[in-house]
């Protein structure tokens, strides 16, 4: 892209240690790395030295802590942004429903700096319903979103979620890319059904997965292997559920992978990888499985699902009965494996995603210039 809109792009997310609870830091690190390859000065800003800093290396990305008060997701206030922001910057804000994003957006407006909000799925209706003081906070989110230069979503299917909160928000669509070379190739030789991710029972739909398995006659139940780190004690609760439902003969609950090679070997041996989440903005485990060439069954509640369905890249299920059919082999989805990997290699590259992101911001900037002063 020839036109340089911004001198610096600053990606702000207070929770510097959030790798233990989610992939926001991983995603934003990859995005700013890609943007830096377009010759843009990029920064990662947070509330304190984060573990991701060791991954910056010679990537051209800088990391910095800005002054904060508060000590948690709901209490962080980034006062240091008021002195760090300057003309020519673009500020990226992640997630939502936080005081830190409200203050950051105020600071950006005060300094005349445009900002982009990247929700990472936090406006999905199931998350919205969990918010305390929902009506008041929804008005705050509406202000933040509608005063942003844009809201960056990963898939078209997220537009309705954002529009319900902020009908006047401008949106750009570009998925986080995935280009890692797998260390294994799918064979399905292990014969098991695989699931991996954060052990978060409700969010990841692990109760739905166990229900689907229970609905099958014991003679056709497959071996189910579950792997991942615990989330807020759900590992213990899931183990209790497996015991109470009489599924110990079929279900193995294992810990997190030691490294990427072990993960890819797990994917490669699975007959199918399932992803029954109740919501998901992106679903990194889905693309990790596709990269190995495994057939993947994905809940239609995931934002990526319509895109995968349009390209025959995965089997999309709507009900527990359809999930049970996948588990029992009544529904053979092995034919999706090749198309899934082809879609990933063709459409989810960093060159494509970053160019698309920048082009849409250029279009918005031109529209704002045409309309004139006073446009957010």
Which residues are bridge partners to 254 per DSSP?
227
What is the pTM (predicted TM-score) of this model?
A: 0.93
Measure Cα distances from 375 to 190, 365, 367, 371 in Å: 57, 10, 10, 7
Assigned domain for 186 exists: no
Same domain, 141 and 212: no
| Domain shared by 32 and 161, yes or no | yes
> Do 204 and 332 reside in the same domain of the chain?
yes
Same-domain status, 109 and 224: no
pLDDT in tens, the chain (376 residues): 445 789 999 999 998 765 444 589 889 999 999 999 988 999 999 998 655 565 676 678 999 999 999 988 889 999 999 999 999 999 999 999 999 999 999 999 999 999 999 999 999 999 999 899 999 999 999 999 999 999 999 999 999 999 999 999 999 999 999 999 999 999 999 999 999 999 999 999 999 999 999 999 999 999 999 999 999 999 999 999 999 999 999 999 999 999 999 999 999 999 999 999 999 999 999 999 999 999 999 999 999 999 999 999 999 999 999 999 999 987 778 889 999 999 999 999 999 999 999 999 999 999 988 876 554 5
Is 30 within the bounds of a domain?
yes
Exposure string (b/e) for 198-215, b if CB count within 10 Å is 16 or more? bbbbebbbbbbbbbbbee
Domain containing residue 37: CATH number = 3.40.50.2000
Query: Is there a domain that residue 167 lies in?
Result: yes
What does DSSP assign to residue 199? B
Q: Do residues 108 and 243 both lie within one domain?
A: no
Q: Does a structural domain hold residue 187?
A: no
Return the DSSP state at 175.
P
- Dihedral of CA atoms 263, 14, 149, 303 in degrees, nearest 10, equals 30
204-223 per-position pLDDT tens digit: 999 999 999 999 999 999 99
Same domain, 134 and 216: no
Q: How many domains does the chain have?
A: 2
Beta strand pairing call for 171-173 and 89-94? unpaired
The answer as to whether 185 is a domain residue is no
Contact yes or no for 116/91 (Cβ under 8 A): yes
Residue 184 in domain: no
Q: Are residues 78 and 157 in the same domain?
A: yes
Instruction: Say yes or no: 21 and 93 in one domain.
Output: yes
- Do 296 and 290 form a contact (C-beta atoms < 8 A)? yes
Answer yes or no: are the C-beta atoms of 124 and 43 closer than 8 Å. no
Does one domain contain both 219 and 263?
yes
Kindly state whether residues 199 and 84 are assigned to the same domain: no
Is residue 36 one of the residues assigned to a domain? yes
d(CA 110, CA 78): 14
Task: Evaluate whether residue 183 is within a structural domain.
Answer: no
Q: Which two tokens stand for residue 94?
A: 């992640």
Pair 319, 294 in one domain: yes
- Whether 12 and 47 map to the same domain: the answer is yes
Q: Residue 47 belongs to what domain range?
A: 8-177+349-371
Is 231:202 a contact under the CB 8 Å cutoff? no
Question: Per-residue pLDDT tens for 258-279?
Answer: 999 999 999 999 999 999 999 9
């Amino acid at each position: 892209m020839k036109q340089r809109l911004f001198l610096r792009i600053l990606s702000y997310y207070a929770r510097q240690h959030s790798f233990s609870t989610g992939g926001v830091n991983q995603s934003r690190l990859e995005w700013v790395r890609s943007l830096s390859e377009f010759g843009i000065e990029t920064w990662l800003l947070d509330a304190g030295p984060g573990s991701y800093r060791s991954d910056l290396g010679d990537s051209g990305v800088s990391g910095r802590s800005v002054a904060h008060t508060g000590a948690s997701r709901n209490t962080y206030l980034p006062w240091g942004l008021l002195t760090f922001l300057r003309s020519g910057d673009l500020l990226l804000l992640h997630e939502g429903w936080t005081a830190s994003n409200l203050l950051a957006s105020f600071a950006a407006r005060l300094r005349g700096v445009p900002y982009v909000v990247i929700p990472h799925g936090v406006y999905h209706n199931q998350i919205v319903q969990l918010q305390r003081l929902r009506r008041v906070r929804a008005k705050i989110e509406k202000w933040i979103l509608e005063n942003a230069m844009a809201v960056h979503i990963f898939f078209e299917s997220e537009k309705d979620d954002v529009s319900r909160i902020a009908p006047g928000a401008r949106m750009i669509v570009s998925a986080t890319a995935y280009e890692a070379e797998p260390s294994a190739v799918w064979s399905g030789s292990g014969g098991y059904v695989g699931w991996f991710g954060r052990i978060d029972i409700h969010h990841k739909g692990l109760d739905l997965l166990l229900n689907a398995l229970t609905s099958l006659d014991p003679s056709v139940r497959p071996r189910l292997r579950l792997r991942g780190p615990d989330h807020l004690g759900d590992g213990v609760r899931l183990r209790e559920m497996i015991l109470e439902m009489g599924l110990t003969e079929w279900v193995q609950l294992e810990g997190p992978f030691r490294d990427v090679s072990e993960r890819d070997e797990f994917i490669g041996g699975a007959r199918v990888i399932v992803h029954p989440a109740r919501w998901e903005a992106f679903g990194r485990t889905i693309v990790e499985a596709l990269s190995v060439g495994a057939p993947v069954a994905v809940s239609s509640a995931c934002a990526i699902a319509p895109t995968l369905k349009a390209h025959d890249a995965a089997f999309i299920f709507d009900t527990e009965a359809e999930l049970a059919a996948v588990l029992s082999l009544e529904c053979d989805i092995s034919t999706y494996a090749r198309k899934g990997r082809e879609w990933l290699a063709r459409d989810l590259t960093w060159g494509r995603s970053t160019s698309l992101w920048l082009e849409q911001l250029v279009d918005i900037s031109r529209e704002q210039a045409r309309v004139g002063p006073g446009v957010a």
